[in-house]
Amino acid sequence: MTRTAGSKGEKTLSALREAGLKRLYRQGFSGMTLRELAGDVGIQAGSLYNYFRNKQDFLYQVMVTVMEDILTEMEEKLRGTRTPREALMAYVDCHVSFHSSRNREVLISTMELRSLTPENYQKIVALRDQYEGQFRKILEWGNKEKSWKVPDAQVATKLILGMMTSVGTWYKPGGRYKISDLILIYQDMIDNLLHNEVSAHALDPALMESRLTRQILKQ
Amino acid sequence: MTRTAGSKGEKTLSALREAGLKRLYRQGFSGMTLRELAGDVGIQAGSLYNYFRNKQDFLYQVMVTVMEDILTEMEEKLRGTRTPREALMAYVDCHVSFHSSRNREVLISTMELRSLTPENYQKIVALRDQYEGQFRKILEWGNKEKSWKVPDAQVATKLILGMMTSVGTWYKPGGRYKISDLILIYQDMIDNLLHNEVSAHALDPALMESRLTRQILKQ
DNA sequence: CCTACCGATCGGTAGG
DNA sequence: CCTACCGATCGGTAGG
């Protein structure tokens, strides 16, 4: 069997990434030892340095991948939305979906910010700011278009992102609700939150029927 | 000057607790070294063992204190509430207040669950379940009294507690909003969430005026 | 509360 | 990718 050049090394690399995620999640950055990580993929500790420059670099790679992945997904979902409300619903969809399906990685990315060197910290925080900024821009766009009235977009962003992000702390795959259910719940909650007293004509009719909280909380 | 018996040791003990909180928050349990902790309070590493049996015991003491404090505060706030809605508002008040003012300790208590020995883990999780159970009981009480209709109290508890808890991740003292503002926002959000389509007669008139989200998000 | 110390283990490197 | 190793440092203990 001919082997693709570098295929073995790439298998090890992706195994390292998967094993690293588990260990970072269960033990944290300083609690995870490189000897354990090497053991997970069947190599010796010294051999790890063929895959990353040092332990810090490994953490950084994990975190930058998470941020780039969610930024890419978000960009795709937002492309083609034509109203603030469509954009809002797309953002909620993407955010809840990512934070549920990849909750382990997301939690690591928040908890281990403190373990980054100052240089790496700055880079990751810049990506996080960019991600958060996209939400704030949607809120401000809706203000301008009179889709809703959010006087303090800065704090509203923190508040709404926070309530969505928390889904990652309690969602368990195979539990009572599918991710698609959770998306509908959060979309409806946030939709109601923003449109509570706003005249209906500003709203997108396609999204008007409230599938919201009633579906899960009240049905 | 006569010194109260043990006063020096108690000063050191409370200094250790404060320094420990900072280090646990910034470095995590396995990242914090006992030599650093000893240095913070001006003693040698070996002397720490006059204050706790070992590092694990120190973490456990920190976490059990947080849980006992919030359970005590909650018990006091809930005592004397006469309707499900009053109880709900009291719970939100206490939860948001505690998770804002003592956010560092609360975040430690969540992140470092993984660092506890199995025996200590069980004890802390039992306290957390008790705390969470109090909220679920309020939801179920409101169901029975027809204050609201929450078909899945289990998941609603996770969802609503999650959105409240997230305030601890972004609240900064001295920021744009006081804790008392945040309490009003969350009370209103959750109040609206539960009463969205419920006839008004079930609601407590004293709490009827919606101070909610409109105050901050829309005024 | 200190000095002095223990065994264990860590991240990382040299040289294949 | 391995063997063999380095200096540094860790949590914890003995004996005052």
Q: What is the pLDDT of residue A6?
A: 52
B165 touches chain A (CB under 8 A): yes
The Cα of A188 is separated from the nearest Cα of chain B by a number of Å equal to 10
By C-alpha distance, the chain B residue nearest A188 is B193
Q: Give the tens place of pLDDT for each residue, B169-189.
A: 999 999 889 999 999 999 999
Q: Give the tens place of pLDDT for each residue, A16-25.
A: 999 999 999 9
Q: What is the arithmetic mean of pLDDT over B118-124? A: 98
Q: What is the pLDDT of residue B7?
A: 64
Please check whether strand C approaches the CB of A39 to within 7 Å. no
Whether B208 shows a pLDDT value over 50: the answer reads no
Whether B167 shows a pLDDT value over 80: the answer reads yes
Cβ-Cβ contacts under 8 Å, A125 against chain B: none
pLDDT tier for residue B154 given thresholds of 50, 70 and 90: very high
By C-alpha distance, the chain B residue nearest A149 is B218
Query: What's the angle, vertex CA B24, arms to CA B178 and CA B107, rounded to 5?
Result: 40
Q: Measured between alpha carbons, how far is B97 from B181 in angstroms, rounded to an integer?
A: 10
Cβ-Cβ contacts under 8 Å, B28 against chain A: 28-31, 111, 114-115
Q: What is the arithmetic mean of pLDDT over A45-62? A: 97
Percent of chain A's residues with pLDDT above 70: 86
Q: What is the pLDDT of residue A2?
A: 39
Q: What is the arithmetic mean of pLDDT over A80-92? A: 97
Inter-chain residue contact A155 with B115, CB threshold 8 Å: no
Q: Measured between alpha carbons, how far is B26 from B116 in angstroms, rounded to an integer?
A: 18
Inter-chain residue contact B155 with A177, CB threshold 8 Å: yes
Show Cβ contacts of residue A34 under 8 Å, excluding neighbours closer than 6 positions.
A45, A48, A55
- For residue B7, count CB atoms less than 10 angstroms from its CB and return exposed for 0-12, middle for 13-18, buried for 19 or more: exposed
Q: Measured between alpha carbons, how far is B39 from B48 in angstroms, rounded to an integer?
A: 10
Q: Which domains does chain A carry?
A: 1-51 (1.10.10.60), 58-218 (1.10.357.10)
Please check whether strand C approaches the CB of B31 to within 7 Å. no
Q: What is the arithmetic mean of pLDDT over A130-136? A: 98
Q: What is the pLDDT of residue A7?
A: 64
The Cα of A5 is separated from the nearest Cα of chain B by a number of Å equal to 39
Q: Give the tens place of pLDDT for each residue, B53-109.
A: 999 999 999 999 999 999 999 999 999 999 999 999 999 999 999 999 999 999 999
**A55-64, B3-12, B192-201: which has the highest mean pLDDT?**
A55-64
Q: Which residues of A2-39 are buried (b: 16+ CB within 10 A; e: fewer)?
A: eeeeeeeeeebbeebbebbbebbbebbbbbbebeebbe
pLDDT tier for residue A201 given thresholds of 50, 70 and 90: very low
Chains A, B: CB contacts within 8 A come to 114
Inter-chain residue contact A217 with B150, CB threshold 8 Å: yes
Whether B116 shows a pLDDT value over 80: the answer reads yes
Inter-chain residue contact A149 with B213, CB threshold 8 Å: no
Whether B26 shows a pLDDT value over 80: the answer reads yes
Whether A4 shows a pLDDT value over 90: the answer reads no
Q: Give the tens place of pLDDT for each residue, A152-199.
A: 999 999 999 999 999 999 999 998 899 999 999 999 999 989 986 432
Please check whether strand C approaches the CB of A210 to within 7 Å. no
Whether B209 shows a pLDDT value over 90: the answer reads no
Q: Measured between alpha carbons, how far is B76 from B90 in angstroms, rounded to an integer?
A: 10
Mean pLDDT of chain A: 88
- Distance in Å, residue B54 CA to nucleotide D16 C1': 21
C1'-nearest nucleotide to the CA of B55: D11
By C-alpha distance, the chain B residue nearest A139 is B217
Please check whether strand C approaches the CB of A56 to within 7 Å. yes
Mean pLDDT of chain B: 88
Percent of chain B's residues with pLDDT above 70: 86
Task: Give strand D nucleotides closer than 7 A to any protein Cβ.
Answer: 1-5, 9-15
B111 touches chain A (CB under 8 A): yes
Mutate which: B196, B199, B209, vs A, most A CBs within 10 A: B196
